A and B are shown apart, each in its own frame.
Chain A
Amino acid sequence: MTTAKEWPLWEVFIRSRDGLHHKHAGSLHAPDAELAIQNARDLYTRRSEGVSSWVIPSADIVASEPADKESLFDPAASKVYRHPTFYTIPDEVTNI
């Protein structure tokens, strides 16, 4: 039985190849940043899934509230004029 503190949780983001964004791959436990980077390599890139990694203590991530989902994100749905398809251009006009 252990009473000691568990290793903290980290979130891992992997860039699968140069030119792409880092993308969330999963999480892991590590006592410090150095081992978090090493564990991320061993846990999430065993099959050449990555060329770069970020690790972030899970506790440091700030997330939006699910309860705020409608007020934060729904208003964008009605702003159709932000999309190119909103505008009518005569068929004969090209390259626009």
Chain B
Amino acid sequence: MAGQDRPELVAAPDETALEAAFQARVDAETRIEPRDWMPEKYRRFMIRQISQHAHSEYVGMLPEGNWITRAPTLRRKAALLAKIQDEAGHAAYLYSAAETLGTTRDQTLEDLHSGKAKYSSIFNYPVLTWADIGTIGWLVDGAAIVNQVALCRTSYGPYARAMVRICKEESFHQRQGFEIMTTLAHGAPEQKEMAQDALNRWWWPALMMFGPHDADSPNSEIAFKWKVKRQSNDELRQRFVDMTIPQADFLGLSVPDPDLTWNETTGHYDFGPIDWDEFWRVVKGDGLCNRDRLDARRSAHEDGAWVREAAMAHAEKKRAAKQNVA
């Protein structure tokens, strides 16, 4: 174990050769596993990406959780509970994947609570009506699935495996959202209006979920080199738009984009410019819910501290008692 515990002993002889061997493995589509040698930069990059993803799942429970107690039917309430529960599960899988890189969950959460780590900015928007719950499932989970399917083949083994499991589980999330939208769109006028209003508010933030344009995305190049990602933000965004517009048409709802047109030549939808100023404003704190989200996460963690401590104290008492008997 000595070499493993002191990575400098392994790394020192010839960092360049090790890095070349690492890159060759990545290029050969061999997954990188936790105890394999990896460049320190790769390790830090993966911790950052996986923990941001985990935080997004964990914070993402809050906007929808806001509607559990107001779900309009028992069937919807059960589905919503199950969906949000999955998100806690997905956060747990992802925090574990980050832990394989030598960080702890406590450290990762500490970074979230201090504001050092980011989560998906979409969750800083408020969930105001029941139609928002449908729209989140349809658009936000839809966008997340497009992103996550692309990540199932990411180069870091534990992350890729977590993604496979998450993608499998999330397919119901988008369907439950779309089912809600279908019911509203085919319902009473006020329901249809509610659905359209929700689409108006969530459409652009959903497109922003794919991140800045590739030209403005500082990490893109290295992420491609390490095969952390395989498709660009813009490619994935385009795929999402192409998938979603026919679904909106089916619902009889229109996306709030006057520039949206079908482009015969490219075989894709052209869409209008994204307001990146708004994106950065919300990321940096000017969203309606930024403070509420972080406060909720911090309070849950702080209020739960005595519970976690009690369980550890009890386990240690039990262990001690067992040893005394033996």
The interface of chain A, by Cβ under 8 A from chain B, is 1-2, 4-7, 9, 26-29, 31-32, 35, 43, 46-47, 63, 65-67
Chain B 273-303 per-residue mask, 1 if CB under 8 angstroms from chain A, else 0: 0000000000000000000000000000110
Given A6-B104, A31-B308: A47 and B315 within 8 A (CB)? no
Interface residue? B35 (CB, 8 A): yes
In B7-65, the 8 Å CB interface with A consists of 10, 33, 35-37
Evaluate contact between A2 and B106: CB separation under 8 angstroms.
Answer: yes
B305, A43: Cβ atoms under 8 Å? no
- CB proximity of A57 to chain B, nearest CB, Å: 11
Task: Identify A32's interface contact among B36, B161, B318, CB under 8 A.
Answer: B318
Instruction: Evaluate contact between A26 and B35: CB separation under 8 angstroms.
Output: no
- Please measure, in the bound complex, the distance between the C-alpha atom of A28 and the C-alpha atom of B93, giving whole angstroms: 8
On B, residues with C-beta under 8 Å from A are: 1, 3-4, 10, 33, 35-37, 85-86, 89, 92-93, 96, 99, 104-106, 110, 161-162, 165, 169, 301-302, 305, 308-309, 311-312, 314-315, 318
- Residues on B with C-beta less than 8 A from A47 are 169
Task: Indicate if the CB atoms of A46 and B311 lie closer than 8 Å.
Answer: no
Asked whether, in the complex, the Cβ of A29 is within 8 Å of the Cβ of B105, the reply is yes
The answer to whether A4 and B96 have CB atoms under 8 Å apart is no
Q: Which residues of A contact B305 (CB under 8 A)?
A: 2, 4
**B308–A4 CB distance below 8 A:** yes
Tell me the complex Cα distance, A56–B282, Å.
Answer: 43
Q: What's the nearest-Cβ distance from chain B to residue A88, in Å? A: 34
Q: How far, in angstroms, from A13 to B302 measured CA to CA in the complex?
A: 31
Q: Are B99 and A9 in contact (CB under 8 A)?
A: yes
Interface contact A26-B93, CB-CB below 8 Å = yes
A28 to B3, CA, bound (A): 27
Shortest B223–chain A CB gap in Å is 23
**Chain B interface main SS type:** helix
Q: Give, as a whole number of angstroms, the nearest-CB distance from B89 to chain A.
A: 6
Complex-state Cα separation, A55 to B270, whole angstroms:
51
Interface contact A2-B308, CB-CB below 8 Å: yes
Chain A's nearest CB lies how many Å from the CB of B299?
Answer: 12
A29 to B93, CA, bound (A): 11
Residue on B nearest A64 in the bound complex, by CB: B35
Known: A28-B96, A46-B89. A4 touches B312 (CB 8 A): yes
Among A5, A28, A31, the one with the most B-chain Cβ atoms within 10 Å of its Cβ is A31
Which B residues touch A43, using CB under 8 A? 89, 92
Contact of B312 among A7, A46, A66, A67 (CB under 8 A): A7
> Contacts A63-B35, A65-B3 hold; do A32 and B314 have CB atoms under 8 A apart?
yes
Q: Which residues of B contact A31 (CB under 8 A)?
A: 308, 311-312, 314-315
- Residues from chain A with a CB closer than 8 A to the CB of B169 are 47
> Once the chains are docked, how many angstroms separate the CA of A4 from the CA of B93?
23
Identify which of A5, A6, A46, A63 contacts B105 (C-beta below 8 A). A6
| Complex contacts, A5 vs chain B, CB 8 Å | 312
A residues in contact with B85, CB < 8 Å: 46
Query: Closest chain A residue to B114 by CB distance?
Result: A1
Which of chain B's residues has its CB closest to A32's CB? B315
Some 26 contacts from A to B, beta carbons below 8 A apart, are: A2-B301, A2-B308, A2-B309, A4-B305, A4-B308, A6-B104, A7-B308, A7-B311, A26-B93, A26-B162, A26-B165, A27-B99, A29-B105, A31-B311, A31-B312, A31-B314, A32-B311, A32-B314, A32-B315, A63-B35, A65-B3, A65-B35, A66-B35, A66-B36, A66-B37, A67-B3
